Every structure is written in structure tokens, then in C-alpha cells.
Chains A and B, each alone.
Chain A
Amino acid sequence: MTDLADSTASAATTTVPAREPLLKVEGLTKHFPVRSGGWGKASVVRAVENVSFEVRPGETLGLVGESGCGKTTTGRMLVRLLEPTSGKITFEGEDITRTKGAKLRKLRQDIQIIFQDPYASLNPRHTVGRIVAMPLQVNGIEPPGGVKKRVQELLETVGLNPEHYNRYPHEFSGGQRQRIGIARALALKPKLIVADEPVSALDVSIQAQVVNLLRQLQRDLGLSFVFIAHDLAVVRHFCERIAVMYLGRMVEIGTREQIYEKPAHPYTRALLSAVPDVTRLGSASRIKLEGDVPSPIDPPSGCVFHTRCWKAQEKCSAEAPKLLPNPNGSTSACHFPETGKLF
């Protein structure tokens, strides 16, 4: 991965020297074995294929792409909820790809996750206090002043009433539940939070509340985020650097300006121009992608995007492009990168 000189100098944090990446992912790959039908032929879903990136302390990296592009699988491998098929994950200079047992539990104090569905990710039979205190109990941590005080502090941090300690999840609205999930993720003072579509299940007006909360936490606590989302406008608002994925591969990565102002990969352009935009009334001229995303069981040869790309040439179906810096500044995997501004 290139070292992008203009990416924001990391916000003041902790032990790691400013230029060292907090998280480094190299060649991460995940294949799921599947069988079509009960006795069908065994095959492999190539969910994530050779993905590499870095997250520096205090930085927010956005992972975007359509459903099935492997962004959630990548996020789950980062927090070690899924075992990578191959590749390497380094956290604070230490290889954590195969960490197990007590060491893994220790590691999870530093890397936490916020889930998409605030209804499914909270135990309906536990009080909010118990849910938020759970990470502390599991790790045998006795915070100064007691667990209850710490939990109430956390509830206050995320904008909930600390007196609601004894309530159950069903007594809260979707936005408030997502705040509970965030409080739980913050309980162990993590350094990195993987947020998997944290706002996509929420109403528009509530979405903005939670996005603002996350931005404020990021600023105040100097947290690093891997922010997974399909909403490109939300990602632009939250992330300094953005990685675009397609069919399990990373197709472009760059700073917010590079990706949103002058994207180089045709897929990034198509994705951005498909977003309906309030500032442009009526059906604006947009790049139209034909058809659907191909199956990850049998991805196209060469560049996986060539079946839907309007610029595709012979070379594209024969040879897979490498992730390389392009004239527009970002790093992209395309034989014929676009130049110039998007709009």
C-alpha cells in the first residue's frame, strides 16, 4: 500500500509512533467452501481476495462497495470473528492472524466492533447495564469506582440517560439501541473500532445523530475506525481515507478528495454517479452499469470488473490489474484509469 503523504497526520494517541500503522492488513483472503444443492459439486466462494490496507492511529478508513463485495467479511476477519484463509493482519506491530485463547481475549480489548442491526446485536433478556458491563466482566476488569459507575459514565458518553441502567433493550428506539452498542464497544477503551454499517438500519434524522456521535468520539478519544458502509455520502462525511471493494477485491484506495473528486477506477466513478443527489434535480446524466455483480463462486477472468466496464478491452479479460498509484493520486487496480474530475 502506498504511503499517502497527504493523509491526515494522525490525531494524538497513545503508544504507537505517529507514522507506524496501528493496523496493517496484507493479502487478506477468505474462501468459503460451498456445495450447490445437497449433493452438488463442492466449490469455493471467493469472498475476499488478496486485500491489503493500513490504518494509522486516529485515522478513519471507510470500506465501501455493493452487497456481496466482501466488506463485512473483511471487517469480521479484522476482529477475528472469522478465520482468514490466508494473509496477515498486524496490530501494533504484532502478527495477530492466528492469535488464540487468552492472548486473543486480550487483543479484543483493543479491537471492538459495532454491528449493523441494533435489534439483533443486544440480548433482549439483559438490562442495558448488564450489556454494557459484559466486556468488563468477561475480561475481569474492575474499573476504579466500580462497574456501575463506569457503565453510567459510558451511557452518558454516548448520550443516553445513565438512570436507564436498569432498562431492557426493547424499551429503547433503534437509534438509542445503536448507542448502547457503541457504549459496549467503548467499555474496554479500544484503540480500533470496526463499525459495520452502524447507521444503515436507522431513520434519516436518527442517522445524523449517530454519525455526529461517532465523529465526536473519534475526535475526543482519538480512536481509529474501520467504517464499513454502502452509503457513499455517509462515508464521505466520516472517513478520511476510503477503500472501494468489488467482488472481494480492492479496486481503489485513496483520500477523501482523491476518491470523491477525481476517482480513477471506472467502478468508483459508476458507484458515485449512481447516488441520487438532492443538489441535482431530475435524472442527471449518470454512468450506467449493466447487469448484476457476477458470482463470487466463478469470478470473471482478468479484471473482475471487465464484464460491466464500458472501457474494457482485450487486456482486461486476460490480465488482472495490480493496485498501483495512478495520475489522479489514489491507488487503483485498473489498466486504463480515468483522469480528470468526476463532476
Chain B
Amino acid sequence: MTTSTSPAAATVDPEAYLQVRDLRVQFPTEDGLVRAVDGVTFSVRRGQTLGIVGESGSGKSVTSMSILGLHNPDRTKISGEISVGGKNIVGMKEEQIRRLRGKDMAMIFQDPLSALHPYYKVGVQIAEAYKVHHPSASKKAATTRAVEMLDRVGIPQPQRRANQYPHEFSGGMRQRAMIAMALVNDPALLIADEPTTALDVTVQAQILELLEDLQREFQSAIIMITHDLGVVSQVADDVLVMYGGRPVETGSVEQIMKRPQHPYTWGLLASVPSLHGDANVDLVPIKGNPPSLINLPTGCAFNPRCRYAGQNGNRSFSEVPELRSAGEAGHQVACHMSFETRQRLYAEDIAHAGVAQ
């Protein structure tokens, strides 16, 4: 397999709070080496939101876990560079990472019921997170801070709620409590891994709005990991589309949603039904299934599912495409097809289906 994205090809904003360069995460297993993330480069400034989009197994969650240093170093091979506020996480000692976790970076998980401890009161759990970074704070001060945070994330009667257990909260309230816990130490970087997937749309709208408010207030850098293009288009400034552990397209939200260049991004847009446009047009699904990360297809990992594979002789099957400029500043795509061909195919095949309409 040829090497993919060379670090030089992708752009890293030197002033960004989070800078990830050529990140590779591999898990040796009995069945073979799982290349969960294979050469990802991106950066996020404070006050900005990066959306990482992909299906199950695209490497988006593994990327976020490695930023938090949550992988067991004995069973994981990580290379590349993850710089959080100027400190490189890769290879750092667990003890040091722990000092960064919570204060410099924090995470909101998908399922708040399994992320909160069922045995402890919500207020106690938030206070504990506070005390980790403020060892001199009294128990009372920490509890006051927890109640403050619950109030800030819009939980009514925070005083009473802090004394309740997670099972007494509704799904939306639990997610708010988890956001409160993540924000209790004012982290500069917040990673949200599918934070609204388990929630109803009306609650999802509340949570997304809350995150936006909090970002304005605290100027955090946010990484929003999701498979929902609607959520991304609502909150993200920049978007990274991942497939099979590799970045396939990156650019501003406007570029990705309005002028997508990669056939996989097209597939995602054309297979999501829309609230507008002609409801009787069939969706254009992506054929087949996402690949196994142990045995990625050679060449472009998307080639077995791509309707246009083989346009350039044998290159789709033998050569891994690198991220290259897709015409506009900041817009990059990893596809062998020429810009003109892609423009033509998009207009002919994709522009009328799903949310791409």
C-alpha cells in the first residue's frame, strides 16, 4: 500500500488551539492490524467548530479518543502529532494527560446514561470533576460550582436536581448534565461524540443551541462528531469527511454541503431524504457496505462502492488518492477524478436527489 496523505499536502493552521498532524492509530488484533485512523490532519481554532462526518467504522470516534489520550498504550500504536494548546499528546505519560483532561480538553459522550455513574448523585459527580483540577476547593465550594453549572446548561431547579441520581433525569436532561460536567473546568477544547444521536429532534435542537451559546461564552474549540449531515450543517464552521479511517474531503461547511467534490460525500448527501423538494424521487444510495478496517480495499478505499471507480484506468484500484486542492481555498478532496469530470458527474447524477436537491 502506498502512503496516503503526506503532512505537507494537508493544511494545519499554526495558530489553532488543536493541531493534529498525520495521525495514525492502529490496533494489533488476532485477525490482523486494524488501521482505525490512517493519516488524518486537521486543526481547530478557539471559538470554531469542526464537524467530523462518517459512518460507523470510519475512524471518527477513534480520532477523538486519541485526542483525549484514552487508548491503552499497550494495545495501540499511535503515530503523528496531536498538539493541544502547544502540548503534544502523543507519547505523553498518562499522569500528564490526566492533568490536561477536563481542564484543557473534555468530552461529551453519546450515551449519557452509561457515561454517568448510576450510583452517585449528579451533583456529586460534577463536583468531583471540579475537585480533580481544584484540589484546594472545599466540598461546599465544589457543590456550589456544580449547581451553578447545572443552572447554566438550563436545568430547572438545579439545587434539587443536583441531589438526584442519573436515572431520575430524562434523556435530554442527562445530556445537559453531562455537558455541565464537561464544562465545569472551562475546557478550551470540547469534543462532542454524537451528542444528540440518542435524543428526539426537539431536544436535539435545544442541546445544539446550548452548545452554540456556551461556545460563544467560553470561546471553546469544538469538535462535533456525527453521522448526521443536518447537525453538521447547523453547527460546524469546517467539515472533515472520513471514510475507512482516512480523510476523503475537507473544507468549509459551505463548500462541503453546497459544492461537494468526493463521490462519498455525494453519496451521503443523495441518500439522506429531505424535508423539501420532490418526495417521490428515489434516493441514490451508496451501494454495498462500509469496508473492514483490517482489510481495506487497495487503492482508493471507496472504490468498491464508488459508481465512478475506474474512470482513470487502473488508478482507483492501485493508488491511494491524496488530499489535493479542489479548486477553492481550504477545500481539499482525495479523488483521482479531475475537477471537470467531477463537476459534470455531480450535475448529471447527484444534484437532484436527497438533501443534495
Q: Which residue of B lies closest to A69 (CB)?
A: B200
**B120 vs chain A, min Cβ distance (A):** 20
Q: Is the CB of B274 within 8 A of A208?
A: no
Cα of A272 to Cα of B276 in the assembled complex, Å: 11
Once A233-B275, A292-B172 are accepted as A-B contacts, the answer to whether A215 and B282 lie under 8 Å apart by CB is: yes
Once A236-B279, A272-B275, A292-B173 are accepted as A-B contacts, the answer to whether A281 and B233 lie under 8 Å apart by CB is: yes
Interface centre among A176, A234, A237 (most CB of B within 10 A): A237
Q: Which residue of B lies closest to A211 (CB)?
A: B283
Once A234-B273, A276-B228 are accepted as A-B contacts, the answer to whether A205 and B285 lie under 8 Å apart by CB is: yes
Instruction: Identify which of A139-147, A283-291, A311-319 touches chain B.
Output: A283-291
Q: Is the CB of A233 within 8 A of B273?
A: yes
> Contacts of B116 on A, CB cut-off 8 Å?
none
* B282-303, CB < 8 A from A: 282-287, 289-290
* B258-273, CB < 8 A from A: 258, 267-273
Cα of A218 to Cα of B132 in the assembled complex, Å: 58
B203 contacts A by Cβ under 8 Å: yes
Pick from B156, B171, B233: contact of A276, CB under 8 Å: B233
Cα of A284 to Cα of B233 in the assembled complex, Å: 10
> Contacts of A291 on B, CB cut-off 8 Å?
156
A123 contacts B by Cβ under 8 Å: no
Instruction: Identify which of B76-84, B182-190, B205-213, B311-319 touches chain A.
Output: B205-213
Cα of A209 to Cα of B253 in the assembled complex, Å: 26
Once A211-B283, A237-B273 are accepted as A-B contacts, the answer to whether A276 and B209 lie under 8 Å apart by CB is: no
> Contacts of B233 on A, CB cut-off 8 Å?
276-278, 280-282
**A287 vs chain B, min Cβ distance (A):** 9
**A68 vs chain B, min Cβ distance (A):** 9
> Contacts of B209 on A, CB cut-off 8 Å?
283, 288
Pick from B173, B230, B285, B290: contact of A208, CB under 8 Å: B285
Once A203-B55, A205-B55 are accepted as A-B contacts, the answer to whether A278 and B202 lie under 8 Å apart by CB is: no
Q: Is the CB of A205 within 8 A of B267?
A: yes
**A48 vs chain B, min Cβ distance (A):** 18
Cα of A98 to Cα of B354 in the assembled complex, Å: 43
Interface centre among B171, B275, B276 (most CB of A within 10 A): B275
Cα of A66 to Cα of B202 in the assembled complex, Å: 8
* A44-64, CB < 8 A from B: none
Pick from A270, A277, A292: contact of B230, CB under 8 Å: A277
Interface string of A296-329 (1 = CB under 8 A from B): 0000000000000000000000000000000000
Once A256-B279, A276-B208 are accepted as A-B contacts, the answer to whether A292 and B203 lie under 8 Å apart by CB is: yes
B204 contacts A by Cβ under 8 Å: yes
Cα of A256 to Cα of B275 in the assembled complex, Å: 11
**B51 vs chain A, min Cβ distance (A):** 11
Q: Which residue of A lies closest to B199 (CB)?
A: A67
**B340 vs chain A, min Cβ distance (A):** 25
> Contacts of B290 on A, CB cut-off 8 Å?
203, 205
B257 contacts A by Cβ under 8 Å: yes
B355 contacts A by Cβ under 8 Å: yes
Size range of the chain A interface in the assembly: 35 or more
**A261 vs chain B, min Cβ distance (A):** 10
Cα of A272 to Cα of B275 in the assembled complex, Å: 8
> Contacts of A236 on B, CB cut-off 8 Å?
273-275, 279
Q: Is the CB of B206 within 8 A of A288?
A: yes
B254 contacts A by Cβ under 8 Å: yes
Once A276-B208, A278-B272 are accepted as A-B contacts, the answer to whether A203 and B227 lie under 8 Å apart by CB is: yes
Q: Is the CB of A208 within 8 A of B271?
A: yes
Cα of A272 to Cα of B230 in the assembled complex, Å: 13
**B134 vs chain A, min Cβ distance (A):** 32
Q: Is the CB of B231 within 8 A of A276?
A: yes
Pick from B200, B274, B289: contact of A175, CB under 8 Å: B289
A275 contacts B by Cβ under 8 Å: yes
Interface string of A203-233 (1 = CB under 8 A from B): 1111111011001000000000000001011
Q: Is the CB of A206 within 8 A of B269?
A: no
Q: Is the CB of B202 within 8 A of A206?
A: no
Q: Is the CB of A278 within 8 A of B257?
A: yes
B234 contacts A by Cβ under 8 Å: yes
Q: Is the CB of A66 within 8 A of B284?
A: no
> Contacts of B90 on A, CB cut-off 8 Å?
none
Extra A-B contacts (19), CB below 8 Å, given A173-B289, A211-B283, A236-B274: A67-B171, A203-B227, A204-B227, A208-B270, A208-B286, A209-B287, A232-B201, A233-B274, A234-B273, A274-B202, A274-B204, A274-B205, A278-B229, A278-B233, A278-B274, A281-B234, A283-B209, A289-B202, A292-B172
16 A-B contact pairs sorted by A residue (CB < 8 Å): A66-B203, A175-B289, A208-B271, A208-B286, A230-B200, A230-B201, A256-B279, A270-B202, A271-B202, A274-B205, A276-B230, A277-B230, A278-B230, A289-B202, A289-B206, A292-B170
